[in-house]
A = this chain, B = another copy of it.
Amino acid sequence: MKIAVDGMGGDNAPGVVVEGVAEALKRYPDLEVLLVGHEKKMASHIKKYSLSRHSRLEVVHSEQYIRMDEPSTTALRGKKDSSITMAAMMVAKGEADALVSAGHTGATVAATKVKMRMLPGVARPALATIMPATQGPFILLDVGANIDCKPVHLAQFAIMGEAFARLAFSALRPRIGLLSVGEEDVKGNDLTKEAFKIISELPLNFIGNVEGNMLFHKAADVVVCDGFVGNVLLKSSEGMAKASMFWLKEALSKNPIRMTGAILMKQAFKELKEIGDAEEYGGARLLGVNGICVIGHGSSSPKAIRNAIRVAEESVKFGMNRIITQNIAEAGVAVGSERAPDKEQ
Binds B, one of A75-83, A232-240, A326-334: A232-240
- In the complex, A254 has a CB within 8 A of chain B: yes
B-chain residues with CB within 8 Å of residue A321 when the two chains form the complex: none
Q: List 13 A-B contacts (CB under 8 A).
A: A134-B247, A181-B228, A181-B231, A181-B235, A212-B232, A212-B239, A217-B243, A225-B232, A233-B233, A260-B261, A260-B264, A261-B261, A261-B262
Which residue of B132, B212, B246 contacts A238 across the interface (Cβ within 8 Å)?
Answer: B212
B-chain residues with CB within 8 Å of residue A257 when the two chains form the complex: 264-265
Contact in complex: A216, B229 (CB < 8 Å): no
Copies in the complex: 2
* Residues of chain A in range 80-113 having any CB-CB distance to chain B below 8 Å: none
- In the complex, A278 has a CB within 8 A of chain B: no
Complex Cα–Cα for A184 and B226 (A) = 20
Contact in complex: B244, A244 (CB < 8 Å): yes
Binds B, one of A52-60, A152-160, A267-275: A267-275
Binding site for B on A (CB under 8 A): 71, 132-134, 144, 147-148, 179-181, 184, 186, 188-190, 192, 211-217, 225-229, 231-244, 246-248, 251-252, 254, 257-258, 260-265, 267-269, 271-272, 275
Complex Cα–Cα for A144 and B212 (A) = 12
Which residue of B134, B231, B268 contacts A252 across the interface (Cβ within 8 Å)?
Answer: B268
B-chain residues with CB within 8 Å of residue A214 when the two chains form the complex: 239
- A158 to B: closest C-beta gap in Å: 17
B-chain residues with CB within 8 Å of residue A262 when the two chains form the complex: 261, 265
Contact in complex: A190, B233 (CB < 8 Å): no
Complex Cα–Cα for A231 and B181 (A) = 6
